[in-house]
Structure formats: C-alpha cells, structure tokens
Amino acid sequence: MILPQDLKALVVDDNAYARAAVAATLRKLGLVSIDELAGAAPAVGAIQATRYDIVFMDWYMPEMNGAALLEVIRDPRFSPNGRVPVVMITAYPNRETIARARELGASEVLTKPFSLAHAAAALGRLLPDGWQIPDEPEAGQVLL
C-alpha cells in the first residue's frame, strides 16, 4: 500500500454492520486511522475536534441524517473540516438523493452494496496528488 499512515478517516453510519464494513474496506485499502461513529449528531463533535482527510457517511440516519450533517460540515463557519472530501453512501439511490447530496457538497456518492474497487476508485479521485491506492483491488468482492 502506498497510502500514508497518517491519513485520517471518519465513518458515520447508524447501522453497526454497515459501519464496520466500510471501515474494513478502508483498512483493506491501506487506511490505518479510522474513527467510527453511530450517528450524525456525535459526528458533529468529532468533526469539530478532529481534522479528517476523508469522511464516509450514510445518507439515511435517524435523528440527524447525512444531508443535515453535510450542511454542518460545509458551513463556512465550520472549521477545520469545511473542505474535507465527503463520500455519501446510500442504499436508496435516486436522482433526487444524488442531486441533493451533490448540491450540499458531497464529493462522491456510493451505492450500497459497493465493491472494494468502487471504494478504491472514489478514494483515487478524492485524495491529493501523490496518494495512491492498490493497483488492482478485488473488483468482484462486494463488501457492503
């Protein structure tokens, strides 16, 4: 793996299985430092206190959904993570959801289930130049 060891990721999903699957996918791609949170409300505090290099979050969550969390992250008064790449994850993709996610500032949208190759491609598009992912992740393996 060529990903730097200091890359810090946040995974936010109310579903424990989905959260663990996303984190496991990121670990397979070389990420070491991954925070996992069970909802958007606790993620607000974490994002205010910790600088993340990338955030993966579910669109549908109780109490505070991914759209509301994304609005908080992208608020210009919200630092240090206002420009962090955000990968929105949804099991219910439709034009309205994808358009709304993009409008709010999602960098990528992944549809559940997704493969290691899909996650690798998203990371490759979002990480700064010089950061690379494995050449050939197991394309057929569905992780989530």
Nearest alpha-carbon partner for 111 in 132, 97, 123: 97
pLDDT more than 70, % of the chain: 85
Mean pLDDT of 52-59: 95
Q: What is the pLDDT of residue 29?
A: 87
Q: Which residues contact 65 (CB under 8 A, 6 or more apart)?
A: 40, 59
Q: What is the pLDDT of residue 130?
A: 53
Mean pLDDT of 120-133: 76
Q: What is the pLDDT of residue 70?
A: 94
Mean per-residue pLDDT over the chain, rounded: 86
Q: What is the pLDDT of residue 5?
A: 64
Angle, nearest 10°, between helix axes 40-49 and 66-74?
20
Angle, nearest 10°, between helix axes 95-104 and 66-74?
20
Reading the block at residue 9, the tokens are 């990721």
Pairing type for strands 86-90 and 8-12 reads unpaired
Amino acid at 20: A
Q: What is the pLDDT of residue 89?
A: 96
Mean pLDDT of 14-31: 93
Map out the domains of the chain as residue ranges: 8-124
- Using one digit for the tens of pLDDT, what is the confidence trace for 60-118? 999 899 999 999 999 888 767 788 999 999 998 899 999 999 999 999 999 998 999 99
Q: What is the DSSP letter of 128?
A: P
Q: Model confidence at 9, in pLDDT bands (50, 70, 90)? A: very high
pTM, full prediction? 0.87
From the candidate CATH numbers 3.40.50.2300, 3.40.50.300, 3.40.50.10190, 3.30.70.890, the one assigned to the domain spanning 8-124: 3.40.50.2300
Residue 1 scores a pLDDT above 90: no
Residue with more model confidence, 144 or 36: 36
